[in-house]
Chain A
């Protein structure tokens, strides 16, 4: 059973558009929600993360929106650039299970 559900599996946007990636979880003990991105042939790298005390976290063009009641969080990539093309993994953490990754969203940004 997938602990963290991520959608869509793939996403294509035009340069300048906002890409929206979604994740949901079931376990209310999760306490940390990072997003990692991974370019082809490279290792995953932390992009941005949020803790449940906040409902929004911004870092430049990247924003996490967090809804604790609905157990959902999303990543918005504003003004998407071709260089943002990568696979994005959401993840959730609790002390019992550690870090659990979603299945990933492959984002393609076309100029």
Chain B
């Protein structure tokens, strides 16, 4: 899926800080961060619409999102915990109301040592 690109694909972290990056080439207004743990459904972390943070679910403060422009999304992670091991998906949709198709990136698999 080259319409939404995420980097890195794989990430192994101890206590270091790191940022996940996402860029969408669909011209969508809304961008999301989802966390998917093993054998679980995706869980919404953050939703931006037109660069504004619209939804901020109950997420540990070590996760900080940033939306530098409407096509880019960052997720800054600091002092990770083993429970953070998961795949982090970036997604986008035309508008902020997710009663329309979500397009997912290929994800970043985070493994915490």
Interface residues of A (CB under 8 A from B): 31-32, 34, 36, 42-46, 49, 51, 89, 93, 95, 98-99, 101-104
Contact = CB atoms under 8 A, between A and B. Distances in A.
A43 B104 contact: yes
A69 B18 CA distance: 48
B41 A104 contact: yes
B2 interface: no
Main secondary structure of the interface of A (DSSP, over half): strand
A101 B42 contact: yes
Interface of B: 1, 39-44, 47, 55, 89, 97-102, 104-107
Given A46-B102, A93-B98, A99 B107 contact: no
6 contacts: A32-B100, A34-B101, A98-B55, A99-B99, A101-B43, A104-B41
A23 B41 CA distance: 14
A22 B82 CA distance: 33
A36 B93 CA distance: 15
Contact of A43 (B43, B89, B98): B89
Nearest to A49: B101
Contacts of B97: 93, 95
A95 B100 CA distance: 12
B44 A98 contact: yes
A44 B89 CA distance: 9
Nearest to A34: B101
